[in-house]
Amino acid sequence: MSIDLPIIPAKRYFTIGEVSDLCGVKPHVLRYWEQEFTQLRPMKRRGNRRYYQHHEVLMIRRIRDLLYDQGFTISGARNKLQEIVQVEKDKKRSGLMMLSGMEVFEPDQDVDETKLVDAWTASGILSDPPQLKLLMRELREIRQLLI
């Protein structure tokens, strides 16, 4: 039952009619999904007119895929969406945790490479100190070319 959906234009806001066409779903279904999926919150303006943003159009397509193509129930799709959102949050959080505790150096600041290598090795971010020294040398050379 999968159909080819049109490319989403580069616009800031989409009306419910445009989203209906872009996602292959009737407007009344979109209004129903707003009640069932808390992640779906279009902006409302005068006269309760709905305006969807790009990320909401993508989410609607994801919901449509879960329900129509993968055969999920509404509650199953809701749970799957929450799971997907949690996984994405965890990925972002783990990326931030890897960077936490790292010192920020100014471009012209001299860096004690030994201390940096020791800190990165101790934190578990780097397990190959010679590789870091090589990388730092290459970065210094690139910086010199840019100056």
Segments making up each domain of the chain, as ranges: 14-96, 101-146
pTM: 0.61
Predicted pLDDT at 78: 94
Protein fold of 14-96: Multidrug-efflux Transporter Regulator; Chain: A; Domain 2 (1.10.1660)
pLDDT digits (tens, 9 = 90+) for 86-95: 887 877 776 6
How far is CA 41 from each of CA 36, 59, 116, rounded to the nearest angstrom? 11, 11, 45
CB 43 within 8 A of CB 51: yes
DSSP label at residue 67: I
**Residue range 3-53, pLDDT digits in tens:** 788 999 988 999 999 999 999 999 999 999 999 998 899 999 988 899 999
CA dihedral 52, 53, 58, 64 (to 10 degrees): -10
What share of the chain has pLDDT > 70, as a percent? 73
What confidence score (pLDDT) does residue 50 get? 94
